[in-house]
Amino acid sequence: MLPNISALLIDLDGVVYRGEMALPGAADALATIDALGIARVFVTNNATLTTDEFSAKLTRMGIAAKPNDIVTSSEATAAHLREIAPSDSTVLVIGEEGLRQALASRGFPIVDAQPTYVVVGLDRNLTYADLARAAIALQRGAQFIATNADRALPVEAGFWPGAGAIVSALVTTTGVQPTIVGKPQPTLLRVALNRIGASPERAAMVGDQIESDIRAGRAAGIHTIWVDPGTAPPPDDVTPDLRVADLSELAALLRARTNHRDAPDAP
């Protein structure tokens, strides 16, 4: 597959960094990928930050990234909701500034009671009262939208509960199942492909989570590259097109491909 790849869609958490620390070699690997002329865009289920904030975070780590280089699940969620929601819809939000700003920029009033939609993302300031308000709204007929269903958030020390843990609490309480917008659904990846003008057959999704990243790549019809976290083998029903230990190994493979392709024919 590597000879055909001209664009990479790269997950952030667990691939480029954990928490506030870049993973070893990530910055150099991304610089190599840029030098090889391979288009890249970051795609993340993390809806807590705005693209400006993600850009600033990556820049602090020595990684070149403009806001337009990042596609978040909050952006995809707001765009999806704008397509399906009546014009007078309101939203109750469990989530942080990235999600709130994305919804507000699409013209959705954010309310605390009687919403048309309950929209849930990762919220590290979550309270029991927040869950209770959302649960009551769902029981009264509000539609349930989730930015993603990631069970865990990779951080320096291990894993924290992800947006999926919050979603599961509300499903357990109410029995209402959400519409999920982020990975493993293909919406994020399709937005990213359009952003960089890449065709699916020449693109690959790079991620560390089989259940979200690799399944999303398959759903979007693109190649898949698994950054193996070394914790467990992939399930039997999923086989990534390529397995690497980290971005450094991927960059080395891509550089070797380019060197081989550019080498003169042997006599």
Each residue's pLDDT tens digit in the chain (267 positions)? Answer: 677 899 999 999 889 998 889 999 999 999 999 999 999 999 999 898 999 999 999 999 999 999 999 999 999 899 889 989 999 999 999 999 999 999 999 999 999 999 999 999 999 999 999 999 999 999 999 999 999 998 888 777 888 999 999 999 999 999 999 999 999 999 899 989 988 999 999 999 999 989 889 999 999 999 999 999 876 666 667 889 999 999 999 999 999 988 776 656 544
Q: Clarify whether residues 168 and 90 are in a common domain.
A: yes
Q: Clarify whether residues 171 and 190 are in a common domain.
A: no
Name which of 178, 182, 236 is nearest 207 in CA terms: 182
Is 228 annotated in the active site? no
Q: Clarify whether residues 146 and 238 are in a common domain.
A: no
| Domain housing 126 | 74-180
Name which of 156, 175, 157, 155 is nearest 167 in CA terms: 175
Q: Clarify whether residues 174 and 78 are in a common domain.
A: yes
d(CA 251, CA 241): 16
Q: Clarify whether residues 82 and 171 are in a common domain.
A: yes
- Cis omega (within 30 of 0) for bond into 184: yes
Q: Clarify whether residues 83 and 167 are in a common domain.
A: yes
Q: Which of 180, 211, 239 is the last residue of a domain?
A: 180
Q: What is the CATH number of the domain that holds 176?
A: 3.40.50.1000
Residue 51 resides in a domain: no
Q: How many domains does the chain have?
A: 2
H or E element in which residue 251 lies: helix 247-262
Catalytic site residue from 13, 123, 130, 208 = 13
Catalytic site residue from 11, 123, 130, 150 = 11
State both tokens at 95: 């989530």
Residue 194 resides in a domain: yes
Q: Which of 180, 206, 229 is the last residue of a domain?
A: 180
Q: Is 106 exposed, middle or buried (0-12, 13-18, 19+ CB in 10 A)?
A: middle
Kindly write down the DSSP assignment for every residue of 80-132, as one continuous string. Answer: HHHHHS-TT--EEEES-HHHHHHHHHTTPPB-SSS-SEEEE---TT--HHHHH
Is 237 annotated in the active site? no
Report pLDDT for 156. Answer: 76
